[in-house]
Amino acid sequence: MTTSSIERPQRLPKDLALIALAIQAGVAVTGIGSQLIWSPYAEDMRRVYATAQTLVPMLSSAFVNWAFAALLTWCFARHTLDRRGPAGLARPAGARGIFGVVFLLLVLAQGYVLAPLVHQAALSYIQNTAGSMAAAGFVFALSSVLQLMLVALIAWFACWLALRRRSGGSASGVDASAHEVSSWSSPRAAIAWVVGVFFVCLQMLMSSLFQGWIGMQQAPGAGPLVLGWIVAPLVVLALTFWGAWMGAREAVQSRPLRAIAASALAFVLLQLVCIAIAIAWMLWVLHPGHVNDIVGPAVGLAVIYVVLMVMLTRSTVGWLYRRYL
**Model pLDDT for residues 245-295, shown as the tens digit of each residue:** 999 988 778 899 999 999 999 999 999 998 898 888 777 777 665 556 667
Q: Are 230 and 159 members of one domain? A: no
Q: Are 21 and 162 members of one domain? A: yes
Q: What is the pLDDT of residue 129?
A: 64
The arithmetic mean of pLDDT across residues 239-250, rounded, is: 93
In degrees rounded to 5, what are phi and psi of residue 226? -65, -40
Q: What is the pLDDT of residue 43?
A: 83
pLDDT band at 185 (very low <50, low <70, confident <90, very high): low
Instruction: Mark which of 182, 209, 241 sits at the end of a domain.
Output: 182
Q: Give the lowest-confidence range in 9-23, 40-54, 67-81, 295-309.
A: 40-54
Q: Are 141 and 252 members of one domain? A: no
Measured between alpha carbons, how far is 314 from 246 in angstroms, rounded to an integer? Answer: 6
The arithmetic mean of pLDDT across residues 119-124, rounded, is: 76
Instruction: Mark which of 145, 162, 182 sits at the end of a domain.
Output: 182
- Cα 69 to the chain's mean position, in Å? 7
How much is the CA Rg of the chain, to the nearest whole Å? 22
Q: How far is CA 68 from CA 6, 48, 74, 200, 318, in A?
A: 27, 26, 10, 9, 23
pLDDT at residue 305 tops 50: yes
Position with higher pLDDT, 137 vs 162:
162
Q: Are 178 and 255 members of one domain? A: no
The arithmetic mean of pLDDT across residues 38-61, rounded, is: 81
Q: Give the lowest-confidence range in 145-154, 213-222, 249-258, 300-309.
A: 213-222
Q: Are 31 and 111 members of one domain? A: yes
Measured between alpha carbons, how far is 73 from 77 in angstroms, rounded to an integer? Answer: 6
- Give the domain extent around 98: 1-182
Measured between alpha carbons, how far is 102 from 159 in angstroms, rounded to an integer? Answer: 9
Measured between alpha carbons, how far is 51 from 58 in angstroms, rounded to an integer? Answer: 11
Q: Are 146 and 210 members of one domain? A: no
Residues 6+ apart with CB under 8 A from 300: none
Q: Are 237 and 249 members of one domain? A: yes
Q: Are 193 and 175 members of one domain? A: no
> What one-character-per-residue DSSP string does 76-120 give?
HHHHHHHHH-GGGBS-STTHHHHHHHHHHHHHHHIIIIIHHHHHH
Q: Are 168 and 194 members of one domain? A: no
pLDDT at residue 229 tops 90: no
**Model pLDDT for residues 148-158, shown as the tens digit of each residue:** 899 999 999 99
- Cα 255 to the chain's mean position, in Å? 17
Q: What is the pLDDT of residue 323?
A: 84
Instruction: Mark which of 166, 182, 198 sits at the end of a domain.
Output: 182
Q: What is the pLDDT of residue 142?
A: 75
pLDDT at residue 73 tops 60: yes
> What one-character-per-residue DSSP string does 9-56 give?
HHTHHHHHHHHHHHHHHHHHHHHHHHHHHTSTTHHHHHHHHTSHHHHH
pLDDT at residue 220 tops 70: no
CB 68 within 8 A of CB 24: no
pLDDT band at 227 (very low <50, low <70, confident <90, very high): confident
Question: Pick from 4, 174, 8, 161: which is nearest to 84 by CA?
Answer: 174
Q: Are 116 and 210 members of one domain? A: no
pLDDT band at 172 (very low <50, low <70, confident <90, very high): very low
